[in-house]
A and B are shown apart, each in its own frame.
Chain A
Amino acid sequence: MPRLEEHCWSCSCSASVKTQELSSARWVVCKTAEMMSIITSVLSHAYGSLHSLQSANLIRRGLVLFIVGVVLALVLNLLQIQRNVTLFPEEVLDTLFSSAWWIPLCCGTAAAVVGLLYPCLDQHLGEPHKFKREWASVTRCIAVFVGINHASAKLDFANNVQLSLTLAALSLGLWWTFDRSRSGFGLGLTTAFLATLIAQLLVYNGIYQYTSPDFLYVRSWLPCIFFSGGVTVGNIGRQLAMVCKLTNDKFSFCI
């Protein structure tokens, strides 16, 4: 191996001198080395840009959002499982941590995407979100979101329409109380639509199941939950973006 490297060195440095001696194998080696060096430079460039503050920030925020999403998904799924709303083939805790491992991961990824999208959208639309930008408000928002989930899982409603309407009103109230931005509303709606679609597809393919589905294959309040979840995660994402901006110009600590 050292010899190989030596050859590469010599041929790349003084290729013109030894041109006649180059066998085809050496030529290949040389070219490979050049390619390697190009790749290395590209990679190092990419790595360097990764190390730059922007992407470090992005990754950091994404990580936090992912964790938040996973935790929320686990907790809220537990709530639903208690009420036997969702059905999994096996027992409760086993299911939660083994066979349905992909659900928290999906939720976490979705949370990261939505939470990063919100500040990004704000930036692109040029209307920075300034309404109640503080952690206390964000915590309150999370609490209300968990409360909505709790209500959907625990309360006894007369019928599904009533439940769905109540939850829709609650979600709108959540948006009005903590967000009040058009972009937030739009993104929340998009999130709700897409997530519901995905849930429908999942149930259609039999991966997942809801007890007593009343809206095609899923429960009709699912979009409301997704909407308020989107708004909540967006709130967290915006706050994180603000905090991260406050602390940028320093080295990142996550990486």
Chain B
Amino acid sequence: MTVRERLRQNISAAFYRHGLLCASYPVPIILFTSASILTCCYPLLKLPLPGTGPVEFTTGVRDYSTPSHESQGDLSERPDWYRGPPVAYIQQVLVKAAVSPWDNSLVPVDVFRSPLGRVFSVLEEIRNHVYTDRSLEALCLQVTDLLPGLRRMQAVLPEHGCLLVSPGNYWQNRRDLFDADPDLLKTVHQHEPKGLHTSATLKDLLFGVPGKQTGVNLYSKKRVVTYTITIALSSYDARFVASLRARLKQLHPSANCTLREDHMVHVHFKEEIGIAELIPLVTTYIILFAYIYFSTRKIDMVKSKWGLALAAVVTVLSSLLMSVGLCTLFGLTPTLNGGEIFPYLVVVIGLENVLVLTKSVVSTPVDLEVKLRIAQGLSNESWSIMKNMATELCIILIGYFTFVPAIQEFCLFAVVGLVSDFFLQMFFFTTVLSIDIRRMELADLNRRLPAEAGMPPPKPGPLRPRETPPPPRPSPHTITLQAPAFRNLRLPKRLRVVYFLARTRLAQRIIMVGTVIWIGILVYTDPAGLRTFLAAQVSEQSPLGEAGLPPHLGVAPVFPGGDPTSTLSGLPAPEPTPLPENQSQGHRAAHPEVAPVSSPQITWGPEDEELWRRLSFRHWPSLFSYYNITLAKRYISILPVIPVTLHLSPQEAIDTRHPQDTHHAPPPIPIPGGGWTGISRETCFAGAHARMVAALGLFAGVVLVLLLFCLYRVLCPRNYGQNGVPHGRRRRGDLPCDEYGYSPPISEISPLLLRGHSMDIECLASDGMLLASCCLVGHIRVWDAQTGDCLTVIPNNGGCWEHRDGWDHISACEAESLLGADFREPGGGAVGGQDVDIFPIRRRTTPARPALFGDQPDLTPLIDTNFGLSPPSQALSSSGFDFGGLVEKAYQEHEPSPTLAFPPSPPASQQRRRSLGDQPVLPPELPPQNNGDWDSSVWAMELRGNLIATGRSSGKLELWDAVEGSLRCSNEDGVSGITALAFLNNRIVAARLNGSLDFFTVEITKPLGLLQYRGRGSLPPSPCYSSEDVISCQLTRSVQCAHQKPITVLKAAAGRVVTGSQDHTVRVYRLEDSCCLFTLQGHSGGITAIYIDQTMVLASGGQDGTICVWDVLTGSRVSHVYGHRGDVTSLVCTTSCIISSGLDDLICIWDRSTGIKLYSIQQEVGCGASLGVISESLLVTGGQGCVSFWDLNYGDLLQTVYLGQSSEGQSVRQLLVLDNAAIVCDFGSELSLVYVPSVLEKLD
């Protein structure tokens, strides 16, 4: 175990150092890596290109002997397939025939009828040729039956005999049939396939030359008919062939024929890939693409996803190339079909490590230096990477010992690939990642700057005298309120387009679909051109290949003196002709449009030497496959062609005419350039072909796209919880509506608006039955949590009245207009509407509830809340208008009406009456004057039973009776403002601004000794204090300097008090004896959120974006995750997961036991702060004027409830979950009570 630990440490340290190195010198390392990749791939240049095109090898005819089966070591230039006898030797007799001189009395049919007719005599000659008692019958390749599927070709192709094909086969090699045939063209074309054809056609097979060159059509301009007689020989007898050649040349001498006759070409055919093999291949590639897609999709939280995905793919691919290259270097030649095993290799090597690396690096604390982040991320994952790699190597090694050659080779490749992949990951990918992270941080910096600029600067200034916000109110709200408008203003259109593309990943998907379509088209249309091109490339590369090439490279087309074989028969060799003329003639023959002669001329050029090259590369395989002879992995030898020239006289042509020829054929077109109809027909035909291919391709493409789209819809109907990106992208104001047009019913839940506060609500406290809220002015209202009725109003008794001199005069004009004592609500739109734009805190003139507030004088119009339009109050305060009298009068007029809601309370009636109205608000911009206890504002509030504990900025702790609204007790022991309160059982803990922590005990002296409990059974016992009790609040202990810096969070549960401070620490105290149990250190920023519950789960989140889970019993850190870019704003735990929200508007859900992020929900800007968990699986979040309910298990949005009609601009900042499945949230100056029974039912 210790060895393992040590190993682990060493590995992790090594990775750490390596990460530092990579991040420090990115450019040299990338250069080094690229160089090594190129070096390792260099041996690949020697490998032949993959492809199934035939490979050629050329030898001389003269010293040819059948290669033996054993490989000879010395013949290194011989390809390894050149062993043993070939399947067949192909001897072609190339016949060129023409009627010359041509005269106008001839009909077009004459162009080919009599030339074709001569094939029978030539055939006869060949068949009967005997050389020293060897006949063709003995030498030729004997074939048996055709394949059963080729019945229709039975009449045409030879069976049971020599494989000897010529155009004469159309007429069963019988002259009489030929002569009786009224329409030769029809006979020739009747076997042609209709529509598209990919392999060799019967016409090609029989004529042995490409269809266009035969000259067998009515509109031929050259009037030369070309065809071959193809003989397949099973054994090679040089003398027989030579004598045949000599004999034919003697009979039909070809003038100026200079064909080279000294080379034979051996053509090796690879295994043919048919459609049956292509389908599995394509399937594996589709699976591979899907794998890559699904893998790279997981790359998250980086600057450029594309770049990293590309880097990941490059890593894997180049590691494969490197492995092949290295294997080749060390002498192992790949025998496997590379295209087939490639997907499996990629899948075996996998992209997992790369993703794990990215994730690990990204989840390191963001405030670290880039170098350190990379190093830390690497070292975090080092052990698992090494372990995985060792496992994979083991598995592959096991595979190596199966002793199956193919598997062994695969394993060898995989091992080398794995190692080189590891190398590339470590050097290439890590460096790319470091560059990316650096870029992201730069971009982050740029992005944050404007947000800071958009903040109202005087946050700690005199307008808001606090320096530390109370716990549930993190500072970011000032940012988030302004951010959307800011963003909308600054975002140019093209950026929005880019964002849209990035969001929907349109390009990614299009490329996926495009690739698949491309593959599909490749499968559909035969890539013959590509393959011949490849084949040409291969032959070019082969060492002797240039001999087999058509002599474009200036190889002399003339061989003086003829070939030596012709001397055998002692016959005169063809006369050599001068070079220049010959060449020009050859060219002329190649370009028929420059042949103006009316009389056809038969010319022999270098292009005739190897006319079979122009045939389809499937020509020979298909010919042999008709007889069930496969050429796959075998070769044939093609002997030099024998030229035969036939000149026919016009009389001969006329003699061989069929009587129908003259009827049938139109009179010849006498125009010299009369080939236009033929040409146009030809081009028409080609055009139709092209159109057909295009249309079919298009159709197939469309079908594929539709199919893929359907599959995509079926497979990934919507977003997943893992990325959750589209969740939050709902446009504000729109109804939440998914792609299928289904929007969850919103009428089901209607929020209950609790109105009454005139200012934004500051603190919110509840114990399930009652609900206490406190607004900025300091008014506390107590509501019934069930019905939403306002039970009590505890006004901020002091302060405002004394200050009226300071601000009342502002509203002079409006106050005057109201002097008619009109207490009804003036449709507050005018007043309320204007100030919205100016103040971040929105003030609404709320329509008061008649039942509750009808008895109060409405003084709304007395206040001009439109401060932005009026001159600053300080400047005017010297004028000293006093409108107090006006207001007083209004009150006195109102006095007779009975007050229903408020029972008499201890403060003096004058004071109470003055403060009855909640409208005389203290504008927050005015600094409260230090006048007694009342001026200080409430910073913290807690509610237990019917006692409200409030902590004020003056350091005073007050206990109010929630029902009666009377002050029961107060404690002024501390002077520093109370930032947070916890009220548990009969203890109150107050955290102060100076970092001290005070423990109070609430003592109740009961006259009757009754202690009744109210509330539900599940509630913690909250004693109900009757009004007769005397309640006193004693400071039991004060922990000075509990923290070095202000305490930001205070939570109490399960007999523990947990405080979090800006000094980066969390402290745990025992409630009973206020003893500090632990100081928890682990954050690198101030603590912003803490969660503790009855089950002693403690989690804390800090400004550094980290979330720590602690064991309260031992004080040890259970897990530590980096979750947010920016502060963690709130934190809630359920039994299985932790939910956190951060300044980055992301809500992350973590597995509590493992600390693994399950998924995250992207919120709108500025909405991520408030969270609540209603049940184990129901999460509620606040948004812009709405609250959203999420299914916690899957991250699915269940419902969004809009709180008001005009939801713009108001965000829910605090959210409280009550026990009766209701949630309370503040909504500007209103409270919203939302019951969610329907959601609960739906979940159950």
A-side residues, CB < 8 A to B, are: 60, 63-64, 67, 71, 74-76, 78-79, 81-82, 91-93, 134-136, 138-140, 142-144, 146-147, 150-151, 154-158, 162, 166, 169, 173, 240, 243, 245-251, 253-254
Contact = CB atoms under 8 A, between A and B. Distances in A.
B693 to A, nearest CB: 21
Nearest to A147: B344
B287 A78 contact: no
Contact of A64 (B149, B402, B714, B1191): B714
B350 A162 contact: no
B283 A75 contact: yes
Contacts of A74: 279
A27 to B, nearest CB: 45
Contacts of A134: 294, 298, 722
Interface of B: 149, 275-277, 279-280, 283-284, 287-288, 290-291, 294-295, 297-298, 340, 343-344, 347, 350-352, 395, 398, 402-407, 711, 713-718, 720-722, 738, 740, 742, 1191, 1193-1196, 1198, 1242
Contact of A139 (B287, B398, B716): B287
Contact of A250 (B404, B720, B738): B738
A127 to B, nearest CB: 15
12 contacts: A78-B277, A78-B280, A93-B276, A134-B722, A136-B291, A144-B347, A147-B347, A150-B344, A151-B407, A155-B404, A155-B407, A253-B740
Interface of A is mostly: helix
Given A93-B275, A249-B1242, 8 more contacts: A135-B290, A136-B291, A136-B352, A140-B350, A155-B407, A246-B720, A250-B742, A253-B713
A91 B742 CA distance: 50
Contacts of A154: 340, 406
A162 B402 contact: yes
A254 B294 contact: no
Nearest to A240: B715
Nearest to A148: B344
Residue of A91, A136, A166 with highest tally of chain B CB at under 10 A:
A136
Contacts of A140: 291, 347, 350
A146 B283 CA distance: 9
Contacts of B404: 155-158, 162, 166
A146 B280 contact: yes
Given A78-B279, A162-B402, A250-B738, A243 B716 contact: yes
A79 B350 contact: no
Nearest to B406: A155
Interface of B is mostly: helix
Contacts of B279: 74-75, 78
Nearest to A76: B280
A169 B711 CA distance: 33
Nearest to A239: B715
B1196 A249 contact: yes
Contact of B276 (A82, A157, A247): A82
Given A78-B280, A146-B280, A166-B404, A136 B295 contact: yes
Given A136-B298, A249-B1242, A173 B395 contact: yes
Contacts of B398: 169
A246 B298 contact: no
A78 B277 CA distance: 7
Contacts, number: 117
Given A166-B407, A246-B1196, A249-B1191, A75 B280 contact: yes
Nearest to A149: B280
Contacts of B711: 67
B740 A136 contact: no
A71 B284 CA distance: 12
A143 B343 contact: yes
A254 B714 contact: yes
A146 B718 contact: no
A246 B1194 contact: yes
B1198 A249 contact: yes
Contacts of A249: 1191, 1196, 1198, 1242
A243 B280 contact: no
Nearest to A166: B402
Contacts of A64: 714-715
Contacts of B714: 60, 63-64, 67, 254
A144 B1195 CA distance: 31
B270 to A, nearest CB: 16
Nearest to A79: B280
Contacts of B720: 243, 246
Contacts of B340: 150, 154
Contacts of B283: 71, 75, 146
Contacts of A136: 291, 294-295, 297-298, 351-352
A26 to B, nearest CB: 46
Contacts of B294: 134-136, 138-139
B924 to A, nearest CB: 43
A198 to B, nearest CB: 24
10 A-B pairs with the lowest CB-CB distances in the bound complex, closest first: A136-B294, A139-B291, A135-B294, A136-B295, A143-B347, A246-B1194, A147-B344, A143-B287, A139-B290, A75-B283
A246 B406 contact: no
A140 B288 CA distance: 8
Contacts of B1194: 245-246
Contacts of A166: 402, 404, 407
A134 B722 CA distance: 9
A250 B740 contact: yes
Nearest to B720: A246
A136 B291 CA distance: 5
A144 B284 CA distance: 10
Contacts of B407: 151, 155, 166
Given A150-B280, A169-B398, A250 B722 contact: no
Residue of A92, A146, A166 with highest tally of chain B CB at under 10 A:
A146
Contacts of B718: 246-247, 250
B311 to A, nearest CB: 17
A247 B1242 contact: no
A173 B715 CA distance: 27
B291 A143 contact: yes
A251 B742 contact: yes
Residue of A67, A82, A155 with highest tally of chain B CB at under 10 A:
A155
B347 A78 contact: no
Contacts of B722: 134
B406 A156 contact: yes
Nearest to B343: A143
Given A162-B404, A166-B404, A254-B714, A78 B1196 contact: no
A64 to B, nearest CB: 5
Contacts of B280: 75-76, 78-79, 146, 150
A146 B287 contact: yes
A160 B771 CA distance: 78
A195 B714 CA distance: 28
Contacts of A250: 718, 738, 740, 742
B291 to A, nearest CB: 4
Contacts of A81: 276
B288 A143 contact: yes
Contacts of B287: 139, 142-143, 146
Contacts of A251: 740, 742
A82 B344 contact: no
A250 B404 CA distance: 52
Residue of B288, B711, B1194 with highest tally of chain A CB at under 10 A:
B1194
B359 to A, nearest CB: 12
Contact of A78 (B276, B402, B1191): B276
A253 B402 CA distance: 48
Contacts of B738: 250
B877 to A, nearest CB: 59
Contacts of B405: 156
Nearest to A142: B287
Nearest to B1191: A249
Contacts of A78: 276-277, 279-280
A135 B405 CA distance: 33
Nearest to A254: B714
